[in-house]
């Protein structure tokens, strides 16, 4: 892996927290993701399932984790299965994890080859009452490809129809929402790589450059800093592209006078950063561009202050909406009289700020976290207000990554330039 070794105590502690959520006499199974095909004999780069990584640190395909805290023998309470390397695999793909290597990464003493899984699992299941299996229960997920977890679920329920089945997703959502100190360090490292990248871009962007050239600079800086690459597909949106929320083609030329919205974040050790900055292509905001930009920045600063223990997303978003409403009136975009008469369920500001302000961040860019759960110390959320004015061809979004603490919000991206004057200064050095 490109990243430095992770302290195995992270995974040991995560498993200790996990077993407290299981019913007595249970066995839980976590599968790696598949390697996804393209066409012919092509494949995509492997990206590990975030749940098995959370509990084991194993970043290799065809790995399986069993956790069975009430197993009759101590050695079967947690078992890791990894793919065995043979001579052909070693020649074509390189060495895979050894048993000793997998044990060192995960802190799991009992490591077997994946080929041994079926017999060991069957013996444990026959002694168990509950089987915990994993499914993708993310609200934003639109899964059209059958995953390894889904295939295993079908096989397991067919082979053991009389057992009681439970959902792992609820446990993992609860477990992963609050980050440990080690995880926060890893997210911070991803944010720091993103900072280096943004600073690089400020010296590169100029009228005439193409969006895909900027994207290439992003990849370059990520990879040279031990990131696998972006935590999600970068958005590099100039001019009128800047008000397309998920613009991904990145194939237009940046023109003099355009604004450029860049939404990108480095991944480090499977942990994500997620940052957006909007800058003037020529290095100088027009008065109108700066007015809109500073309005978004004021909303963001106020929103960040609300990311404190005890608040909840629904209340938070409503309060941010009120602040945004005031800024849009100040910009002359909303009529204050019409705002007074608006349908409270369909506020007028939504035409210009149509997405949520924050989402959880961690092993996934849109990480686990219930909208009904109160904010707690250790949660990491984005803060990303925006104003999108189609009539003027202006789209501005500013996004930082915020750690909630008892002492107030801590900005993990505070070193990434955000003030309009600082951006102009750095672009014109």
H-helix or E-strand spanning residue 174: helix 168-177
DSSP 21: T
State the catalytic residue, choosing from 149, 217, 267, 399. 399
Please count the helices (runs of H) and the strands (runs of E) in the chain.
13, 17
The two structure tokens encoding residue 129: 């009452």
Task: Check: CB of residue 128 under 8 Å from CB of residue 26.
Answer: yes
What are the C-alpha distances in Å from 244 to residues 285, 292, 360, 391? 20, 17, 22, 13
Which residues are registered as beta bridge partners of 400? 383
DSSP 4: P
Task: Check: CB of residue 186 under 8 Å from CB of residue 379.
Answer: no
Residue 384 annotated in active site: yes
State the catalytic residue, choosing from 246, 345, 372, 429. 246
DSSP string covering 235-291? EEEEGGGGG-TT-----SB--TT-EEEEEE-EEETTEE--EEEEEETTS---HHHHH
State the catalytic residue, choosing from 112, 176, 277, 397. 397
Residue 366 annotated in active site: yes
Query: From the CB of residue 400, how many other CB atoms can be counted at a distance below 10 Å?
Result: 26
State the catalytic residue, choosing from 78, 258, 327, 384. 384
The two structure tokens encoding residue 328: 């849009």
State the catalytic residue, choosing from 51, 215, 274, 327. 274
Report d(CA 79, CA 59) in Å as an integer.
16
Report d(CA 289, CA 242) in Å as an integer.
13
H-helix or E-strand spanning residue 55: helix 50-56
Residue 246 annotated in active site: yes
Long-range contacts of 119-122 (CB under 8 A, 24+ apart): 120/66, 120/76, 120/79, 121/27, 121/29, 121/66
State the catalytic residue, choosing from 78, 211, 263, 364. 263
Residue 360 annotated in active site: no
Residue 138 annotated in active site: no
State the catalytic residue, choosing from 355, 392, 419, 421. 355
What are the C-alpha distances in Å from 292 to residues 143, 240, 273, 424? 37, 15, 25, 15
Give me the phi and psi of 250, to 5 degrees please: 50, 50
State the catalytic residue, choosing from 359, 360, 364, 367. 359
Residue 112 annotated in active site: no
State the catalytic residue, choosing from 41, 337, 343, 391. 41
Residue 258 annotated in active site: no
Report d(CA 193, CA 189) in Å as an integer.
6
Residue 274 annotated in active site: yes
State the catalytic residue, choosing from 138, 148, 163, 366. 366
Residue 388 annotated in active site: yes
Report d(CA 270, CA 310) in Å as an integer.
28
Give the active site residues: 41, 246, 263, 274, 355, 359, 366, 384, 388, 397, 399
């Amino acid at each position: 892996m490109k990243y430095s070794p992770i302290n195995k105590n992270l995974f040991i502690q995560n498993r200790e927290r996990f077993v407290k959520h299981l019913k007595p006499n249970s066995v839980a199974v976590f599968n790696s993701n598949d390697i996804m095909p393209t066409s012919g004999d092509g494949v995509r780069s492997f990206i590990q399932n975030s749940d098995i990584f959370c509990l084991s640190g194993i970043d290799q395909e065809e790995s399986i984790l069993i956790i069975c805290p009430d197993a009759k023998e101590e050695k079967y309470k947690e078992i890791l299965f990894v793919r065995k390397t043979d001579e052909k695999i070693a020649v074509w793909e390189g060495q895979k994890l050894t048993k000793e290597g997998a044990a060192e990464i995960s802190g799991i003493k009992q490591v077997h080859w994946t080929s041994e899984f079926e017999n060991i699992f069957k013996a444990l299941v026959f002694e168990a009452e509950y089987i915990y299996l994993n499914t993708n229960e993310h609200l934003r997920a639109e899964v059209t490809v059958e995953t390894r977890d889904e295939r295993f679920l079908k096989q397991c329920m067919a082979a053991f129809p009389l057992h009681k089945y439970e959902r792992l997703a609820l446990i993992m959502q609860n477990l992963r929402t609050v980050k440990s100190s080690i995880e926060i360090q890893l997210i911070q490292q991803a944010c720091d790589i993103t900072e280096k990248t943004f600073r690089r871009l400020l010296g590169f962007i100029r009228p005439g450059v193409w969006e895909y050239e900027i994207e290439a600079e992003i990849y370059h800086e990520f990879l040279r800093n031990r990131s696998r690459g972006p935590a999600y597909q970068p958005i590099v949106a100039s001019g009128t592209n800047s008000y397309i929320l998920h613009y991904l083609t990145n194939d237009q030329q940046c023109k003099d006078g355009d604004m450029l919205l860049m939404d990108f974040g480095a991944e480090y050790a499977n942990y994500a950063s997620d940052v957006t900055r909007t800058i003037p292509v020529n290095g100088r905001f027009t008065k109108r561009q700066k007015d809109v930009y500073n309005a978004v920045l004021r909303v963001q600063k106020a929103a960040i202050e609300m990311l404190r223990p005890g608040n909840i997303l629904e209340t938070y978003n409503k309060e941010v909406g009120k602040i945004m409403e005031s800024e849009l009136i100040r910009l002359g975009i909303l009529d204050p009289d019409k705002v007074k008469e608006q349908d409270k369920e369909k506020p007028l500001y939504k035409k210009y700020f149509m997405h949520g302000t924050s989402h959880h961040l961690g092993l996934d860019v849109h990480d686990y976290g219930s909208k009904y759960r109160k904010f707690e110390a250790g949660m990491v959320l984005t803060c990303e207000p925006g104003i999108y004015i189609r009539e003027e061809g202006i789209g501005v979004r500013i996004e930082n990554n915020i750690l909630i603490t008892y002492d107030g919000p801590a900005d993990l991206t505070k070193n990434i330039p955000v003030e309009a004057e600082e951006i102009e200064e750095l672009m014109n050095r």
